[in-house]
């Protein structure tokens, strides 16, 4: 029942504030352009967009584009001109008025995308303040405010004031709003002797609300009612919202409060989702469910019992309203009626069914659902008759259909005795998607099957299989491809189609299972052989399965991101709402050393990350200045000391530290993290160090995933980020190590942009004017006079770094000092760095002596095979140029040429020193160590041919 998400949700919503204000002022263009020197980091320009288009795009920062558009489409289609108030009823608690600006922005956001909720508010805290100031003690009976004439007089005044405040705040943002303080609720006195002037609503007139919406204005209501005789009566705002919802039958009934949800009375954890049909009796029997909690649950059940099952209640804070409405994972507490999960093992009328204990599904009902929802059947590409015949012909007990009672979502799972289970069909209606029923079904599947395979095409739907043709989601609600990746522990992609699995961690076992599935025809042939190398611990160390036609398997943390599953009483890994805990929790990152170019690049990446939030940035030079280039929230630079870091770590304020400091400066801060972790008594935060301080340190993991495996990084709390030159050098040399010819060693000549030389601080404007300090490069293009400047001609730190770690690939027992390698020598690399008159990018030229003569084509194929599991590596025919690497997040290799003697090969590689050479690689390591997909927040499309 409890969500285990520890990180604060919805920091992205704060990033929309400026956009809403701009839209409210009817400005025609929105431009968010951030440039670092001559490199554009991100540019979003909208010159002729409507407000709706602009705000819709900003919604994409909350969830996937398809996810947001699906919810927008469903909400938009819920209302009709004849019944325009069926989107949502939003009840605002009086305490929410303490942050009126946040409230107004959240409501204005909905208005900007064309959604018109009916808004009703209370004013309890404000009334209590006035009553107490006038010497009147508030009285309550059974949780209901006793209202005498004086109290009612104050209530009318306070309600009107708060109503006009909210209307004024909305109008200030350009959002039309209409105050409606009477004429909607008709009531009779509830019990005059006991409660005084408190009413029981007997009628709701929705005409003023619908007139307001048709006029293009949000209706803003108070919870005051009138008797048939004209007497004003006070009504509890929650009760009024419920009666309003019964009349309007909206998709969503939202209760905004200052707590952001409902909480467990013992553990204090947020209740993430409640399915009343299954859990109500159990909850009401709990000793901690009492007073206000019990009253609210009872009211919610009475309300939802009379509303369509497509309606649900959400208890949420104003700042998280968009996340609750437009993402599957939500942010507050979701209350819905729900359905009990069904497991069908046969058809009604099946002669083998009596006494079997199986639930039976009417074949005609299944036929109608598949005909309506399966796009392949609707398009004539698959046969409905063949699908049903395949189920009929299969041995009894070899398949199960998982579904909710009304079949809003269902999964067809094949599980012959002694064989691994395969999902052969996923189908969901619009209501099934909106209310998370698809995830309920998935949770039930995971509960029964500890190992599972399934396939999906590029559109995300389950791909047709030979045994049961024509699967896929329906009712024009396609399943986002990311849905599959989020629920898989591994994947393998060929020709735009992916094979997903969970519960099979070993590469050998995986190959055996896939081979058996292909032989039996339960999945189509063509997946074997599985590419990728076996790491030392036996787990796959390959990259994302979305990498291309010949991509290798991808292993990821289990259960990342399945939202809102079926039962909050059961626990199955893989869901943020209900069945399980997952790793789509938002996590907090602190950046120490934010002033430099690398810090700026990492800031931009974190700004687009779906789960990581930058919460602290430290820079001595920029202390007190706002952070630029980060739009999720407003952050001010601080100057954190080791003592500050120790305190923050001991109190668990962040989940990961990134040290972007010069060499030799990091240790006091790392020591502070260690002390804070010890004081905390729990697993400490992750530390990623971008300097060279810990690249040779025992107990630290060297974070170059493409070469040294991902499992070690996933299990590590201390990660040293490789150097930029060292990254390119190692990626160049590693595939050729089997052809190493000691004592002849490889040589790398590297040319880097001047950003790699670091930065210095310059006072902004005239000294003493208090202008923001500027970050400028140590080496300027002017100082290079258009030429290049070799430096550190021997013993560069990256030379030692590359040789030290490459020695591990020659022999896992090597320690970097030459022990354990062939001939007792470790790999030695000769390296000469040079700085050029361009901002960023590294071009590295490798000269490698070969022990065996090889043609250039074989060496090119060697690189392609070695890195085909790595989406951030691109192998090309020509020599990489600056344009191939600047602003790109990966590494490119090409230009292979073999000397006429056949004994030496020259290969060229390149990367952006600020991205794959620093910030992007740091984000890969953060993602792995924190349990996310390795490439979360990293654009891949520009890196793959």
pLDDT of residue 57: 54
Burial class for 281, CB neighbours closer than 10 Å (0-12, 13-18, 19+): exposed
Element (H, E) at 604: helix 597-607
Rounded Cα–Cα distance for residues 431 and 433 (Å): 5
The answer to whether 876 and 891 are in contact (CB under 8 A) is no
pLDDT for 437-458, tens place per residue? 777 788 889 888 989 999 886 5
The answer to whether 349 and 363 are in contact (CB under 8 A) is yes
Rounded Cα–Cα distance for residues 361 and 344 (Å): 6
* DSSP type of residue 692: S
Q: DSSP alpha helices (H): ranges in 437-539?
A: 437-448, 481-487, 507-520
Residues marked as catalytic: 724
Shared domain for 357 and 394, answered yes or no, is: yes
Rounded Cα–Cα distance for residues 731 and 324 (Å): 43
pLDDT of residue 757: 59
- The total of other beta-carbon atoms located within 10 Å of residue 882's CB is 17
- Residue 409 predicted with pLDDT over 90: no
Q: How confident is the model at residue 364 (pLDDT cuts 50, 70, 90)?
A: confident
Map residue 500 onto helix, strand or coil.
strand
Average pLDDT for 15-43: 35
The answer to whether 425 and 453 are in contact (CB under 8 A) is no
Nearest one of 40, 43, 42, 44 to 840, comparing CA atoms:
40
How many alpha carbons lie under 13 Å from residue 862 in its C-beta half-sphere? 18
Residue % of the chain over a pLDDT of 90: 28
From 213-217, 498-502, 559-563, 625-629, the region with the lowest mean pLDDT: 559-563
- Residue 658 predicted with pLDDT over 50: yes
From 653-662, 779-788, 892-901, the region with the lowest mean pLDDT: 779-788
pLDDT of residue 623: 85
Considering the domain boundaries, does residue 490 fall inside one?
A: yes
pLDDT of residue 719: 95
Rounded Cα–Cα distance for residues 39 and 34 (Å): 9
Q: DSSP alpha helices (H): ranges in 436-495?
A: 437-448, 481-487
- Residue 817 predicted with pLDDT over 70: no
Contacts of 514 (CB under 8 A, 6+ apart): 453, 499, 523, 527, 528, 530
For 615, the token pair is 């919460």
- Residue 43 φ then ψ, to 5°: -135, 120
Shared domain for 99 and 237, answered yes or no, is: yes
End-to-end CA distance of the chain: 45
The answer to whether 623 and 617 are in contact (CB under 8 A) is no
Considering the domain boundaries, does residue 63 fall inside one?
A: no
From 346-360, 491-505, 846-860, 885-899, the region with the lowest mean pLDDT: 346-360
Nearest one of 334, 336, 307 to 246, comparing CA atoms:
307
From 505-519, 599-613, 709-723, the region with the lowest mean pLDDT: 505-519
Considering the domain boundaries, does residue 301 fall inside one?
A: yes
Shared domain for 447 and 501, answered yes or no, is: yes
Rounded Cα–Cα distance for residues 162 and 154 (Å): 12
Rounded Cα–Cα distance for residues 94 and 858 (Å): 72
Q: How confident is the model at residue 113 (pLDDT cuts 50, 70, 90)?
A: confident
Please provide the average confidence, as pLDDT, over all residues in the chain: 77
* DSSP type of residue 534: B
Average pLDDT for 751-770: 62
For 861, the token pair is 């194929």
| Domain stops at, among 311, 336, 361 | 336
The answer to whether 130 and 154 are in contact (CB under 8 A) is yes
Rounded Cα–Cα distance for residues 557 and 575 (Å): 13
For 642, the token pair is 């080791």
Shared domain for 879 and 789, answered yes or no, is: yes
Considering the domain boundaries, does residue 931 fall inside one?
A: no
Place of tokens 């009929």: 392
pLDDT for 826-836, tens place per residue? 888 998 889 88
Most confident of 325-339, 349-363, 788-802, 911-925: 911-925
Instruction: Determine the angle formed by the axes of helices 124-133 and 149-172, rounding to 10 degrees.
Output: 130
Shared domain for 184 and 295, answered yes or no, is: yes
Shared domain for 389 and 486, answered yes or no, is: yes
- Residue 543 predicted with pLDDT over 50: no
Most confident of 42-46, 132-136, 333-337, 579-583: 333-337
Burial class for 181, CB neighbours closer than 10 Å (0-12, 13-18, 19+): middle
How many alpha carbons lie under 13 Å from residue 792 in its C-beta half-sphere? 17
Considering the domain boundaries, does residue 22 fall inside one?
A: no
Shared domain for 406 and 297, answered yes or no, is: no
Nearest one of 864, 913, 907 to 885, comparing CA atoms:
913
- Residue 435 predicted with pLDDT over 60: yes
Contacts of 133 (CB under 8 A, 6+ apart): none
How many alpha carbons lie under 13 Å from residue 868 in its C-beta half-sphere? 18
* DSSP type of residue 405: T
Nearest one of 461, 482, 483, 487 to 472, comparing CA atoms:
461
- Residue 780 φ then ψ, to 5°: -100, 155
| Domain stops at, among 667, 688, 718 | 718
pLDDT of residue 628: 84
Which residue segment(s) compose the domain that 207 sits in? 85-125+164-190+199-336
Contacts of 205 (CB under 8 A, 6+ apart): 183, 184, 185, 186
- Residue 487 predicted with pLDDT over 90: no
Q: DSSP alpha helices (H): ranges in 837-940?
A: 856-866, 882-885, 920-930
Shared domain for 664 and 765, answered yes or no, is: no
Shared domain for 506 and 594, answered yes or no, is: no
The answer to whether 333 and 314 are in contact (CB under 8 A) is yes
From 60-69, 167-176, 326-335, 460-469, the region with the lowest mean pLDDT: 460-469
- The CATH number of the domain holding residue 486 is 3.40.630.30
What Cα–Cα distance (Å) separates residue 597 from each residue in 326, 414, 604, 780, 791?
Answer: 35, 53, 11, 14, 21
Rounded Cα–Cα distance for residues 804 and 846 (Å): 17
Shared domain for 669 and 758, answered yes or no, is: no
Rounded Cα–Cα distance for residues 636 and 650 (Å): 22
Q: DSSP alpha helices (H): ranges in 122-220?
A: 124-133, 149-172, 192-195, 207-214
Map residue 455 onto helix, strand or coil.
strand
Q: pTM higher than 0.75, yes or no?
A: no
Q: Which residues pair with 760 in a beta bridge?
A: 776
- Residue 260 predicted with pLDDT over 50: yes
Shared domain for 443 and 366, answered yes or no, is: yes
Q: How confident is the model at residue 436 (pLDDT cuts 50, 70, 90)?
A: low
Instruction: Determine the angle formed by the axes of helices 797-810 and 724-733, rounding to 10 degrees.
Output: 30
How many alpha carbons lie under 13 Å from residue 394 in its C-beta half-sphere? 23
Q: Which residues pair with 687 in a beta bridge?
A: 657, 718
| Domain stops at, among 336, 365, 393 | 336
- Residues shown for the chain: 945
Place of tokens 């809003």: 408
The answer to whether 596 and 660 are in contact (CB under 8 A) is yes
Question: Which comes out higher in pLDDT, residue 928 or 131?
Answer: 928
- The CATH number of the domain holding residue 265 is 3.40.1160.10
Beta strand 359-361 with 399-404 is unpaired
Rounded Cα–Cα distance for residues 831 and 844 (Å): 10
Considering the domain boundaries, does residue 907 fall inside one?
A: yes
pLDDT of residue 422: 94
Question: Which comes out higher in pLDDT, residue 784 or 650?
Answer: 650
Considering the domain boundaries, does residue 411 fall inside one?
A: yes
- The total of other beta-carbon atoms located within 10 Å of residue 645's CB is 27
- The CATH number of the domain holding residue 750 is 3.30.360.10
For 168, the token pair is 């004024």
Average pLDDT for 918-923: 94
Rounded Cα–Cα distance for residues 828 and 847 (Å): 13
- Residue 788 predicted with pLDDT over 70: yes
pLDDT of residue 574: 33
Shared domain for 317 and 357, answered yes or no, is: no
Chain centroid, CA 616 distance in Å? 20
- Residue 125 predicted with pLDDT over 70: yes
The answer to whether 833 and 672 are in contact (CB under 8 A) is no
Rounded Cα–Cα distance for residues 520 and 415 (Å): 12
Chain centroid, CA 608 distance in Å? 10
Place of tokens 């949502």: 88
Considering the domain boundaries, does residue 136 fall inside one?
A: no
- Residue 684 predicted with pLDDT over 70: yes
Place of tokens 């399966």: 374
- Strands across the sheet with 232-234, in order? 199-204, 185-189, 224-226, 232-234
Average pLDDT for 64-76: 71
- The total of other beta-carbon atoms located within 10 Å of residue 187's CB is 25
**Could you give the number of structural domains in the chain?**
4
């Amino acid at each position: 029942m409890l969500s285990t998400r520890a990180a604060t949700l919805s920091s992205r919503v704060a990033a929309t504030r400026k956009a809403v204000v701009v839209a409210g002022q009817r400005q025609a263009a929105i431009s968010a352009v951030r440039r670092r020197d001559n490199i554009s980091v991100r540019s979003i320009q909208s010159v002729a967009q409507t407000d709706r288009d602009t705000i819709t795009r900003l919604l994409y920062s909350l969830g996937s584009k398809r996810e947001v558009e699906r919810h927008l489409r469903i909400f938009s289609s819920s209302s009709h001109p004849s019944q325009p108030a069926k989107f949502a009823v939003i009840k605002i608690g009086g305490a929410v008025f303490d942050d009126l600006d946040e409230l107004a922005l959240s409501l204005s956001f909905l208005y900007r995308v064309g959604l018109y909720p009916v808004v009703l508010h209370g004013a309890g805290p404000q009334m209590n303040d006035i009553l107490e100031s006038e010497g009147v003690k508030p009285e309550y009976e059974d949780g209901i405010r006793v209202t005498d004439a004086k109290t009612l007089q104050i209530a009318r005044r306070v309600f009107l004031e708060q109503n006009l405040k909210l209307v004024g705040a909305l109008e200030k943002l350009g959002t039309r709003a209409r105050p409606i303080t009477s004429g909607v609720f008709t009531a009779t006195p509830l019990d005059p002797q006991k409660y005084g002037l408190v009413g029981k609503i007997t009628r709701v007139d929705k005409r003023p609300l619908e007139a307001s919406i048709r006029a293009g204005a949000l209706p803003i209501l108070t919870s005051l009612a009138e008797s048939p005789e004209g007497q004003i009566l006070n009504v509890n705002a929650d009760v009024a919202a419920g009666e309003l919802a019964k009349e309007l039958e909206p998709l969503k009934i939202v209760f905004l409060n200052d707590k952001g949800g409902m909480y467990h009375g013992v553990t204090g954890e947020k209740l993430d989702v409640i399915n009343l049909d299954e859990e109500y009796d159990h909850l009401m029997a709990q000793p901690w469910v009492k007073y206000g909690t019990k009253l609210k649950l009872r009211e919610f059940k009475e309300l939802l019992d009379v509303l369509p099952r497509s309606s649900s209640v959400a208890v949420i804070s104003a700042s998280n309203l968009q996340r609750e409405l437009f993402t599957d994972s939500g942010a507050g507490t979701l209350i819905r009626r729900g359905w009990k999960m069904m497991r069908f093992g046969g058809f009604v009328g099946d002669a083998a069914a009596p006494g079997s204990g199986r639930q039976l599904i009417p074949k005609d009902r299944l036929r109608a659902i598949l005909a309506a929802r399966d796009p392949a059947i609707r398009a004539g590409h698959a046969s409905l008759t063949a699908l049903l015949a395949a189920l009929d012909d299969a041995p009894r007990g070899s398949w199960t259909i998982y579904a909710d009672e009304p079949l809003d979502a269902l999964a067809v799972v094949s599980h012959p005795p002694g064989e691994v289970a395969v999902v052969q069909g996923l189908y969901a209606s619009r209501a099934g998607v909106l209310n998370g029923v698809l995830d309920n079904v998935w949770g039930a599947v995971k509960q029964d099957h500890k190992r599972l395979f399934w396939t999906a095409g590029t559109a995300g739907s389950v791909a047709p299989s030979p045994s049961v043709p024509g699967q896929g989601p329906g009712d024009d609600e396609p399943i986002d491809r990311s849905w599959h990746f989020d629920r898989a522990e591994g994947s393998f992609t060929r020709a735009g189609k992916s094979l997903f699995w969970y519960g099979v961690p070993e590469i050998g076992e995986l190959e055996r299972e896939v081979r058996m599935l292909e032989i039996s025809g339960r999945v189509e042939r063509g997946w074997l052989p599985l590419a990728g190398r076996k790491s030392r611990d036996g787990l796959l160390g390959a990259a994302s399965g979305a990498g291309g036609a010949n991509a290798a398997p991808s292993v990821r943390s289990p259960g990342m991101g399945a939202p809102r599953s079926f039962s909050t009483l059961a626990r199955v890994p893989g869901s943020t709402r209900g069945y399980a805990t997952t790793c789509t929790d938002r996590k907090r990152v602190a950046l120490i050393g934010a002033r430099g170019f690398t810090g700026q690049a990492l800031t931009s990446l974190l700004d687009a990350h779906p789960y990581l939030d930058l919460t602290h940035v430290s820079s001595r030079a920029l202390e007190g200045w706002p952070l630029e280039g980060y739009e999720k929230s407003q952050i001010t630079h601080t100057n954190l000391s080791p003592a500050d870091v120790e305190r923050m770590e001991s109190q668990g304020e962040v989940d990961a530290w990134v040290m972007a400091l010069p060499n030799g400066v990091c240790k006091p801060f790392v020591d502070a993290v260690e002390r804070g972790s010890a004081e905390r008594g729990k697993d400490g935060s992750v530390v990623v160090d971008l300097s060279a301080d810990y690249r040779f340190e025992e107990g630290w993991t060297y974070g170059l995933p493409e070469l040294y495996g991902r499992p070690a990084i996933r299990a590590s709390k201390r990660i040293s980020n490789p150097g930029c030159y060292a990254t390119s050098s190692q990626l160049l040399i590693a595939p050729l190590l089997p052809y190493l010819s000691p004592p002849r060693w490889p040589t790398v000549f590297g040319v880097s942009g001047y950003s790699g030389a670091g930065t210095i601080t310059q006072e902004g404007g005239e000294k003493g004017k208090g202008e923001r300090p500027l970050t400028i490069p140590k080496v300027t293009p002017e100082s290079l006079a258009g030429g290049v400047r070799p430096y550190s001609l021997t013993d560069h730190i990256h030379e030692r770094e590359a040789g030290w770690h490459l020695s591990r690939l020659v022999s896992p027992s090597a320690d970097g000092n030459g022990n354990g390698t062939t001939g007792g020598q470790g790999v030695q690399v000769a390296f000469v760095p040079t700085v050029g008159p361009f901002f960023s990018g590294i071009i590295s030229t490798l000269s490698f002596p070969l022990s065996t003569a090889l043609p250039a084509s074989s060496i090119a194929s060697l690189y392609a095979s070695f890195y085909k599991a790595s989406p951030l590596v691109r192998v090309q025919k020509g020599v990489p140029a600056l344009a191939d690497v600047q602003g790109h997040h990966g590494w490119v290799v090409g230009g292979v040429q073999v000397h006429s003697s056949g004994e030496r090969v020259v290969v060229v590689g390149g990367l952006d020193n600020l991205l794959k050479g620093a910030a992007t690689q740091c984000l890969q390591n953060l993602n792995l160590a924190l349990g996310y997909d390795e490439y979360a927040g990293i654009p891949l499309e520009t890196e793959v041919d």
